[in-house]
Structure 1
């Protein structure tokens, strides 16, 4: 299985914004570091807004719960 980092780099290279929403969310889910998780969630949220992904609402709520919005 390809690493998350490799999949993120590939999605960026292909400009796969829907994929980036899922991958950055996955990265946030896997880290134990709140700051890193919020970094990944912010990226996921921005890409979700750009493509009109309904996950944007859930991502916003996660960031808000951490006091990041």
Structure 2
């Protein structure tokens, strides 16, 4: 496993929503292809919506730019 994967698992175990938003966005930024990036962005977006995080709009725009919304 990668350090990012380990941090994601840890954040899930702790139910750290803010951490999950950041980590999934990081995973999207480092993904090797657009489908993987959008998969991770979608997760970040859902957690941001649940939390009411201001980054929701940024994540939405990133997904929209890829034609995913």
TM-score by length of 1: 0.96
Q: Equivalent residue for 2:38?
A: 38
TM-score by length of 2: 0.96
After superposition, give the CA deviation of every residue in 1:9-64 in whole Å (9 maximum; x if it has no partner). 00000000110000000000011210000000000000000001100000000000
CA distance in 1 between counterparts of 2:54 and 2:22 reads 12
Q: Equivalent residue for 2:25?
A: 25
How many residues are paired up? 68
- Show structure 1 runs of 5+ residues with no match: none
Detail structure 1 runs of 4+ shifted over 6 Å in the superposition. Answer: none
- Tell me the secondary structure at the aligned position of residue 32 of structure 1: coil
- Show structure 2 runs of 5+ residues with no match: none
Indicate the RMSD between aligned Cα atoms, in angstroms: 1.0
Q: Equivalent residue for 1:3?
A: 3
